[in-house]
């Protein structure tokens, strides 16, 4: 007699797992009903991430964190500082330097009902885990005919971290966002980092969560009360009438800096922080483009087949007749990331380049 | 490869252009952005900038010469290319090119020439010219938003001067032409006469204003059409020596014939208007009076003034545009009106009038008239005079047919009082071309054709 496998529960419900997971989702509020963006509870971006993970781990025992140096060393970037003490070694797990192994293991855990958070020290290291994170996680719900979802968060540092050179400065948003079945968040500030990470942990699908070591020390107000930021809901960080700057992640700050300089010359631009790339809040972009009639997408990934290319395509599809100039993009230079400090600055979509690009569009 | 620079389309209605002045000679080095020539269009004299770098291999036409849009005006040798190679690559021998460059020989004029060399309907569109150079002469560069706004205001995009990169028309350029969101700009320009046209029902009487109602005082910005009407008609009235000759025609026979024809043709959906008969009569009368169907060629600096007799009869019909389209008027052209029958004239007039009022006419439907008719009969007007529509030499102002008492003599010479229908026609003529007797003779022919309308059928 063949023994019945006991490691997995028998499927004894007609409710689709993805739907069931959604039933567990907290209320998703529009921007104007979220807590105030401004305030005086000033904490670091890394602390905001830690609060998000800790709150969700307190709420839900299925949530756990694993990755290199997350436990005993308190995190390579001190994001998980103190979490081992609070949650213990079963829920804050140090792994070997083996992304392929621990990412795959975490995916299996997610399929089996747990809620893993996988920390990649850098997204640059995620490529050795490409098969599990791209070929398994995003397709699991589809390939299993709805039997297994994959509620997992992969998070880590993305983009040029400051003289880390070509192989450690990857921007993965364009590469990974190409895959259907995953979600991708890329917060630019502590408020969004917390609100989006909490949503990512609650989300029933695999979420690729892109941080930046250049922002981990950024300080800003993070509300005391619990809040979740819906995916696919951009924030208008600055309102203008001349050009709409569309950006996400660290380049949002470059945009805001350029906007200040432009404002000094009487040019007021929009800065739209997309917050998530998948889903993409194209409606908010269209809404602003219909007002400014000009758009510049500022994207820290390479130009060829980039997120900027996708955004501009959708703009052309959706509001071509509202454009008064060719929709423009500003990416990093189409070369491997340079090591030299000055070259790295010039390579990025920095404030100087944004300023020049907007001036060019204004004729 | 040699660079062929062709006559650009500098306005929506431009079909030909004249090189008024060359700014370069063969052998000169030209850089992108250099002014190479002054081009006279139907509206203005504009500077033409080169869009390319090169050495002038040949000027294809001399100063004062007019050619069609799209034909070569200058050939540039590219950097590193010899002039001979450049000429070969465009299929011209070096010596032929040299003789063509700067030639003083006037070319035969094959088309009407505009009377003024310096009409300024728009600011010099240097940026626009670059956007229209070489093989892109038909393409008007405009942002999608500019096109959308222009379309919504029924404004031909080609009539707008672009201020953006490569002369691209931007939102602000269109808004400037519209003069603000409140004013609707209507269809294509090339308007002229002081009148309106045939197939339009007389307007209903306006309701009385409420007691105490006041008129509003405000400044209305000019739309493109109003600007062009203003410019062209001032030019016409101040440079052309107008005079008028009036003659009346008995319309009884024509009315009877028209009634009979319409009755028989009703089943086929044909309804001829009086205006259709007038168009036909005016057109075929040109065969006896070719000077009415002509244009004045002004002194071009290269050749002395001359009169251009046209080999075709294209009758322009003034069509007024409804208020909600921004008002104004256009001249719809019925080509070869002497060669086509009443039925075709009727359907073509109806088609053009409907299209003009609905969405505007294409440039080809607005230009090329050789004579214009303005009919205010449907408004109850008995007699009026019109301003010549350049480059026409004359315009006919047609009033309404009215019943009048006439004294007629029977076979025995007995006078008797009869009721007859009479229509007044007033021709305004350019006295440089048409003397009073010529105008009178032409009107007499038209009158005879209208009074013996069978001749209009065959």
Residue B314's contacts (CB-CB under 8 Å, 6 or more residues apart) are: B333, B334, B335, B336, B337, B368, B369, B370, B371
Pairing of strands B29-30, B45-49: unpaired
Quick check: is B431 catalytic?
yes
User: Two tokens at A297?
Assistant: 């997408």
Check whether residue A182 and residue A239 sit in a common domain: no
For A348, the token pair is: 């990025």
**Among A196, A221, A246, where does a domain finish?**
A221
Chain A residue with Cα closest to B142: A324
- Domain assignment present for residue A310? The answer is yes
> Residue B251 is encoded by which pair of tokens?
């319309």
Residue of B nearest to A290 (CA): B145
The rounded distance, in Å, linking the Cα atoms of B415 and B410 is: 7
Q: With a cut of 70, say whether residue A74 has pLDDT above it.
A: yes
- Active-site entry in A51, A99, A119, A344: A99
| B164 → closest Cβ in A320, A321, A363 | A363
End-to-end CA distance of chain A: 80
**A184 and A81 both lie in a single domain:** yes
Interatomic CA distance for residues A249 and A300, integer angstroms:
9
For an interface test with A, the pick among B144, B148, B149, B168 (most A C-beta atoms closer than 10 Å) comes out as B144
- Given a cut of 60, whether residue A187 has pLDDT beyond it is yes
**Sheet of B45-49, strand order:** B45-49, B35-40, B16-22, B66-68
Q: Which residue of B has its CA nearest to A363?
A: B164
ipTM: 0.74
Residue in chain B closest to A325 (alpha carbons) equals B143
Residues in chain B: 458
Instruction: Tell if the CB–CB gap between A323 and B170 is shorter than 8 Å.
Output: no
Going by C-beta distance under 8 Å and a sequence separation of 6 or more, which residues neighbour residue B272? B258, B261, B262, B265, B342, B343, B346
Contact pairs from chain A to chain B, CB under 8 Å:
26
pLDDT at residue A157 tops 90:
yes
Chain B within 8 Å of A290 (Cβ-Cβ)?
A: no
Q: Are residues A212 and A241 in the same domain?
A: no
Which residue in chain B has the smallest CA separation from A320?
B144
- pLDDT of A15 above 60: no
Does residue A244 sit in the same domain as residue A357? yes
Interchain contact A241–B (C-beta under 8 A): no
A320 contact residues in B (CB cutoff 8 A): 144
- A70 Cβ contact partners less than 8 Å away, ≥ 6 residues apart: A76, A79, A80, A83, A84, A92, A93, A94, A119
Closest partner residue to A320 among B144, B146, B165, by Cβ?
B144
Shared-domain flag, residues A326 and A186? no
Question: Within a domain: residue A226?
Answer: no
Residues A121 and A203 in one domain: yes
The pLDDT of residue B110 is 39
- Residues from B contacting A (CB-CB < 8 Å) are 143-148, 163-165, 170-171
- Asked if B160 and B179 touch (Cβ cutoff 8 Å), the reply is no
Query: Which residues does residue B296 pair with via DSSP β-bridges, in sequence order?
Result: B307
Q: Is residue A23 part of a domain?
A: no
Q: Give the pLDDT mean for A303-327.
A: 95
Q: How far apart are CA B65 and CA A242, in angstroms?
A: 46
Mark whether A206 and A343 lie in a shared domain: no
A258, A355: one domain: yes
- Domain-embedded: residue A303: yes
pLDDT per position in chain B (458 positions), as tens? 678 888 888 776 777 888 888 888 888 888 888 888 888 877 677 788 887 888 888 888 888 888 888 888 888 887 777 766 766 665 544 444 343 444 343 433 433 333 333 333 333 333 333 333 344 456 788 999 999 888 888 788 877 888 888 788 999 888 887 765 433 333 333 333 333 444 444 555 566 677 777 788 888 887 777 888 888 889 899 999 999 999 999 999 999 999 999 999 888 888 999 999 999 999 999 999 999 999 998 877 777 889 999 999 999 998 888 777 667 788 889 999 999 999 999 999 988 888 888 767 777 777 889 999 999 988 889 999 999 998 999 999 999 999 999 998 888 888 889 999 999 999 999 999 999 999 999 999 999 999 999 888 87
Nearest chain A residue to B174, by CA: A324
Based on the residue annotation, tell me whether A168 is a catalytic residue of this protein: yes
Measured CA to CA, the distance from residue B236 to residue B372 in angstroms comes to: 14
Where among A187, A221, A255 does a domain terminate? A221
In a domain, A34, yes or no: no
Catalytic residue, chosen from B23, B242, B383, B431, is B431
- Asked if A322 is an interface residue toward chain B (Cβ–Cβ < 8 A), one would say yes
CA-nearest of A109, A124, A7 to A63 is A109
Instruction: Note whether B43 and B122 are within 8 A (CB).
Output: yes
Q: Do A363 and B165 touch (CB under 8 A)?
A: yes
Q: Are residues A71 and A101 in the same domain?
A: yes
Based on the fold, state whether residues A207 and A248 are members of the same structural domain.
no
CA angle, residues B178, B183, B188, in degrees to nearest 5: 55
More confident residue, A176 or B124: A176
Give the 3-state secondary structure of residue A339: coil
HEC string of chain B equals CCEEEECCCCCCCCCEEEEEEECCCCCCEECCCCEEEEEECCCCEEEEECCCCEEEEEECCCCCCEEECCCEEEEEECCCCCHHHHHHHCCCCHHHHHHHCCCCCCCCCCCCCCCCCCCCCCCCCHHHHHHCCHHHCCCCCECHHHHHHHHHCCCCHHHCCCCCHHHCECHHHHHHHHCCCCCCCCCCCCCCCCCCCCCCCCCCCCCCCCCCCCCCCCCCCCCHHHHHHHHHHHHHHHHCCEEEEEEEEECHHHHHHHHHHHHHHHHHCCCCCHHHHHHHHHHHHCCCCHHHCEEEECCCCCCCCEEEECCCCCEEEEEECCHHHCCCEEEEEECCCCCCCHHHHHHHHHHHHHHHHHCCCCHHHHCCCCEEEEECHHHCCCCCCCCCCCCCCEEEEEEEEEEEEEEEECCCCCEEEEEEEEEEEEEEEECCCCCHHHHHHHHHHHHHHHHCHHHHCC
What is the rounded distance in angstroms from the CA atom of residue B318 to the CA atom of residue B371? 11
How far is Cα B15 from Cα B374, in angstroms, rounded to an integer? 24
Q: What are φ and ψ of residue A64, in 5° steps?
A: -145, 160
- Distance (Å) from the alpha carbon of B3 to chain A's nearest alpha carbon: 28
What residues of B are in contact with residue A289 (Cβ under 8 Å)?
Answer: none
Between CA A88 and CA A85 the distance in angstroms is 6
Residue ranges making up the domain that contains A109: 41-221
CA distance B440 to A29: 84
Pairwise CA distance, residues A198 & A228, whole Å? 6
Tokens found for residue B53? 């770098």
Looking at the complex, report in whole angstroms how far the Cα of residue A325 sits from the nearest Cα belonging to chain B: 6
Average pLDDT over residues A312-323: 94
User: Of residues B305 and A21, which shows the higher confidence score?
Assistant: B305
Residues 6+ apart with CB under 8 A from B227: B121
Q: Do A293 and B145 touch (CB under 8 A)?
A: yes
Distance from the Cα of A263 to chain B's closest Cα (Å) equals 21
- Same-domain check for residues A279 and A252: yes
**Domain end residue (candidates: A221, A251, A270):** A221
Q: What is the pLDDT of residue B36?
A: 87
**What is the reported pLDDT for B194?**
38
For A200-244, the pLDDT digits (tens) are 999 999 999 999 999 999 999 999 999 999 999 999 999 999 999
Q: What are the chain B neighbours of A325 within 8 Å (beta carbons)?
A: 143, 164, 170
pLDDT in tens, A87-112: 999 999 999 999 999 999 999 999 99
Same domain, A197 and A298: no
Q: How far is B169 from chain A (nearest CA, A)?
A: 9
Number of domains chain A contains: 2
pTM of this structure? 0.53
- Cα radius of gyration (chain B): 25
CB contact under 8 A, A324 and B170: yes
**A157, part of any domain:** yes
Contacts 24+ apart (CB under 8 A), A254-258: A254/A298, A254/A348, A254/A349, A254/A350, A254/A351, A254/A354, A255/A298, A255/A351, A255/A354, A257/A351, A257/A354, A258/A351, A258/A352, A258/A354, A258/A355, A258/A358
* CATH code (residue A258): 3.40.50.920
Question: Chain A closest CA to B165's CA: distance in Å?
Answer: 8
Nearest chain A residue to B150 by CA distance is A321
Q: Does A323 touch chain B (CB under 8 A)?
A: yes
Indicate whether A131 belongs to any domain: yes
Nearest CA-CA distance, residue A168 and chain B, Å = 40
User: What pLDDT sits at residue B138?
Assistant: 66
pLDDT of residue B299: 78
Residue A240 lies in a domain: yes
Q: What is the pLDDT of residue B218?
A: 84
Query: Cβ of A363 and B143 within 8 Å?
Result: no
Contacts of B143 in chain A (CB under 8 A): 293, 323-325
| Calpha distance A359→A354 (Å, rounded) | 9
Which residues of chain B have a CB within 8 Å of the CB of A323? 143-145
Nearest to B355 by CA among B390, B302, B317: B317
Amino acid B190: pLDDT = 37
Q: What is the CATH number of the domain that holds A185?
A: 3.40.50.970
């Amino acid at each position: 007699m063949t023994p019945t496998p006991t490691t997995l529960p028998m499927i004894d419900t007609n409710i689709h797992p993805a739907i069931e997971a959604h039933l567990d989702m907290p209320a998703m509020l529009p921007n104007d009903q979220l807590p105030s963006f401004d305030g005086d509870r000033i904490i670091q971006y890394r602390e905001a991430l830690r609060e998000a993970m800790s709150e969700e781990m307190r709420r839900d025992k299925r949530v756990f964190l694993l990755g290199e140096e997350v436990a005993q060393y308190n995190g390579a970037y001190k994001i998980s500082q103190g979490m081992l003490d609070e949650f213990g070694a079963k829920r804050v797990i140090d792994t070997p330097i083996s992304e392929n192994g621990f990412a795959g293991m975490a995916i299996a855990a997610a399929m089996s009902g747990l809620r893993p958070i996988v920390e990649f020290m850098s997204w640059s290291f995620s490529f050795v885990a490409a098969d599990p994170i791209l070929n398994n996680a995003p397709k699991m719900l589809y390939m299993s005919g709805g039997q297994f979802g994959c509620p997992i968060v992969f998070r880590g540092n993305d983009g040029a971290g400051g003289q880390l050179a070509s192989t450690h400065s990857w921007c993965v948003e364009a590469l990974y966002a190409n895959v259907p079945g995953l979600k991708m968040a890329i917060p630019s500030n502590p408020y969004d980092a917390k609100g989006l990470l909490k949503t990512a942990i609650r989300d029933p699908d695999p979420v690729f969560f892109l941080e930046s070591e250049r922002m981990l020390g950024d300080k800003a107000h993070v509300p005391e009360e619990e809040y979740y930021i819906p995916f696919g809901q951009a924030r208008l960080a600055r309102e203008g009438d001349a050009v709409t700057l569309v950006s996400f992640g660290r380049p949002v700050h470059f945009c805001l800096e350029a906007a200040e300089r432009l404002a000094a010359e009487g040019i007021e631009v929009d800065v739209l922080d997309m917050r998530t790339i998948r889903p993409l809040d194209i409606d908010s972009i269209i809404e602003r483009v219909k007002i400014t009639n000009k758009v510049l997408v500022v994207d820290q990934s390479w130009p060829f087949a980039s997120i900027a290319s996708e955004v501009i395509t959708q703009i052309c599809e959706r509001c071509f007749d509202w454009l008064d100039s060719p929709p423009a993009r500003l990416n990093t230079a189409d070369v491997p990331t340079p090591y030299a400090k000055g070259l790295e600055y010039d390579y990025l979509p920095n404030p100087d380049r944004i300023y020049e690009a907007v001036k060019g569009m204004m004729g | 490869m040699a660079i062929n620079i062709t006559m650009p389309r500098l306005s929506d209605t431009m079909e030909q252009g004249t090189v008024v002045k060359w700014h370069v000679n063969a052998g000169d080095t030209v850089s992108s952005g250099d002014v190479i020539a002054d081009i006279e269009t139907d509206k203005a004299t504009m500077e033409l900038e080169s869009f390319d770098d090169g050495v002038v291999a040949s000027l294809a036409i001399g100063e004062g010469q007019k050619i069609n849009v799209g034909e070569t005006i200058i050939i540039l040798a590219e950097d590193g290319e010899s002039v001979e190679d450049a000429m070969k690559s465009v299929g011209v021998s070096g010596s032929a090119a040299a003789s063509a460059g700067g030639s003083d020989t006037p070319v035969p004029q094959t088309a009407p020439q505009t009377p003024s060399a310096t009409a300024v309907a728009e600011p010099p569109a240097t940026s626009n010219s670059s956007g229209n150079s070489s093989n892109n002469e038909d393409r008007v560069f405009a942002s999608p938003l500019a096109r959308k706004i222009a379309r919504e205001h029924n404004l031909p995009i080609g009539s707008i001067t672009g201020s953006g990169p490569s002369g691209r028309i931007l939102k602000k350029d269109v808004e400037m032409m519209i003069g603000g969101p409140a004013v609707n700009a209507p269809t294509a320009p090339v308007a002229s006469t002081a009148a309106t046209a045939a197939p339009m029902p007389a307007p209903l009487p306006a309701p009385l204003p409420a007691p105490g109602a006041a008129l509003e005082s405000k400044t209305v910005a000019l739309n493109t059409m109003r600007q062009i009407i203003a410019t062209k008609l001032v030019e016409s009235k101040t440079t052309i020596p107008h005079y008028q000759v009036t003659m009346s025609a008995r319309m009884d026979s024509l009315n009877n014939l028209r009634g009979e024809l319409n009755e028989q043709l009703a089943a086929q959906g044909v309804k001829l208007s009086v205006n259709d008969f007038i168009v036909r009569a005016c057109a075929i009368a040109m065969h006896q009076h070719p000077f009415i169907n002509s244009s004045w060629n002004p002194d071009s600096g290269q050749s002395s003034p001359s009169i251009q007799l046209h080999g075709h009869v294209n009758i322009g019909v003034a069509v007024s545009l409804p208020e909600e389209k921004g008002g104004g008027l256009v001249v719809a052209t019925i080509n070869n009106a002497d060669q086509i029958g009443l039925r075709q004239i009727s359907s073509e007039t109806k088609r053009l009038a409907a299209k003009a009022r609905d969405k505007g006419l294409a440039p080809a439907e607005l230009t090329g008239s050789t004579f214009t008719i303005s009919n205010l009969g449907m408004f109850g007007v008995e007699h009026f005079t019109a301003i010549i529509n350049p480059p026409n030499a004359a315009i006919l102002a047609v009033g309404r047919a009215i019943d009048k008492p006439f004294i007629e003599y029977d076979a025995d010479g007995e006078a008797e009082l009869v009721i007859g229908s009479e229509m007044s026609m007033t021709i305004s003529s350019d006295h440089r071309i048409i003397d009073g007797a010529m105008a009178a003779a032409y009107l007499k022919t038209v009158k005879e054709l209208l009074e013996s309308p069978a001749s209009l059928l065959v």
